[in-house]
Amino acid sequence: MNNDTIISVEGLTKRFGDFTAVDSISFQVGKGEIFGFLGANGAGKTTAMRMLCGLSMPTSGKASVAGFDIYKQTEEIKRNIGYMSQKFSLYEDLTVRENIRFYAGIYGKTNSFIKEKTAFVLKQLHLEKDADKLVRSLPLGWKQKLAFSVAIFHEPQIVFLDEPTGGVDPVTRREFWNMIYKAAEDGITVFVTTHYMDEAEYCDRVSIMVDGRIDALDTPSGLKSNLKASSMDEVFLMLARKAKRTGD
Ligand SMILES: Nc1ncnc2c1ncn2[C@@H]1O[C@H](COP(=O)(O)OP(=O)(O)OP(=O)(O)O)[C@@H](O)[C@H]1O
């Protein structure tokens, strides 16, 4: 592991009873990288991501995230990362402003930091006029962008995004990715799962999980040339076809 490595994983495994959901995966992610974590339904992405976020104990293997050990330093990991799950965790019955305030409070930020950053986020999202509306009244794409802004509000070293753009149109997904690029430019490492292959093309490197194992890991162009494929769609189909799991 060198100084530019921010996530280091070696032989990481998670079993549920007799079933091996994540089967000895190893990889490293560099600081500031946009790292795509792909795989068919049930491949083990969420399970792996939850271990890296300090939310689930591994069965075996090693990993460090932002310099912290995933067995012993889960609280430090949680303070240094942002996490946006598929069912992102905004409170529908709180306003936009209250949601921001709530999450900022969890990370113990000062009032002046919260005030200044809230104004910045509302402006960036063009939500100034809607700041006091309930989150439930926002369209899905806006909720996703707000959830992302909230996940990186405390300026974490890494943000983990689990299918952040599910269910929205391509234009909204493109806008969401502009926010991801901006976060990466600001030095935040992005670890993202997606089912959309156009999004895989936006990543610096992509790993593809098949039945709990990492089957391929390279830049999108490296994967395409190794497999003689013309698109990431084709790469994914070639690898995912081998999968025995069907997801749930
Ligand atoms: N708590 C659990 N107990 C038992 N099996 C589990 C548990 N959590 C996940 N699994 C199983 O582990 C496998 C991997 O699930 P996981 O959610 O990590 O896949 P995924 O790649 O994130 O899929 P998706 O794209 O559908 O979210 C699945 O077969 C799932 O049913």
CB atoms under 10 Å from CB of 232, counted, come to 24
Q: Tell me the CA–centroid distance for residue 42 and ligand 1, in Å.
A: 5
Model confidence pLDDT, tens digit, residues 172-189: 999 999 999 999 999 999
Q: Whose CA is nearest to atom 17 of ligand 1?
A: 46
149: in domain: no
Measured CA to CA, the distance from residue 61 to residue 215 in angstroms comes to 18
Kindly state if the Cβ of 78 falls inside 6 Å of ligand 1: no
120 CA distance to ligand 1 centroid (A)?
37
**Is residue 144 domain-resident?**
no
39 lines ligand 1 (CB under 6 A): yes
**117 found inside a domain:** no
**For the CA of 49, the nearest atom of ligand 1:** 18
Is-contact 190 159, C-beta < 8 A? yes
Q: Does the beta carbon of 214 sit less than 6 angstroms from any atom of ligand 1?
A: no
Contacts of residue 96, defined as CB under 8 A and 6 or more positions apart, other chains included, come to 122, 127, 130, 131, 132, 133, 135, 138, 146
Q: Would 24 be classed as within a structural domain?
A: yes
pLDDT in tens, the chain (248 residues): 556 999 999 999 999 999 999 999 999 999 999 999 999 888 999 999 999 999 999 999 999 999 999 999 999 999 999 999 877 679 999 999 999 998 888 888 889 999 999 999 999 999 999 999 999 999 999 999 999 999 999 999 999 999 998 888 889 999 999 999 999 999 999 999 988 888 999 999 999 999 999 999 999 999 999 999 999 999 999 988 878 876 65
In this structure, are residues 104 and 153 in contact, taking their beta carbons and an 8 Å threshold?
Answer: yes
Residue 115 lies inside a defined structural domain of this protein: no
- The CATH number given to whatever domain includes residue 26 is 3.40.50.300
Domain residue limits at 173: 5-92+157-240
Give the pair of three-digit tokens for residue 216.
């391929």
The pLDDT value given to residue 88: 64
Ligand 1 centroid – CA 243 distance (Å): 14
Ligand 1 centroid vs 44 CA: distance in angstroms?
5
Q: Is the CB of 132 under 6 A from ligand 1?
A: no
Look at residue 198 in the predicted model and tell me its pLDDT: 87
Q: Judge if the beta carbon of residue 14 lies within 6 A of ligand 1.
A: no
Q: Which residues of 210-230 are buried (b: 16+ CB within 10 A; e: fewer)?
A: bbbbbbbbbebeebbeeeebe
Q: What is the pLDDT of residue 168?
A: 86
Is the shortest distance between the CB of 247 and ligand 1 below 6 Å? yes
Cβ neighbors of 107 (< 8 A, separation 6 or more) are: 79, 153, 154
Ligand 1 in reach of 31 Cβ (< 6 A) = no
Contact 207, 43 (CB under 8 A): no
Q: In a mutational test of the pocket of ligand 1, which residue from 46, 49, 246 has the highest number of ligand atoms less than 8 Å from its CB?
A: 46
Q: Say how many Å lie between the first and final Cα of the chain, rounded.
A: 36
Decide if 146 is inside a domain. Answer: no
Number of domains the chain contains: 1
121 located within any domain: no
Place of tokens 């926002």: 138
131 located within any domain = no
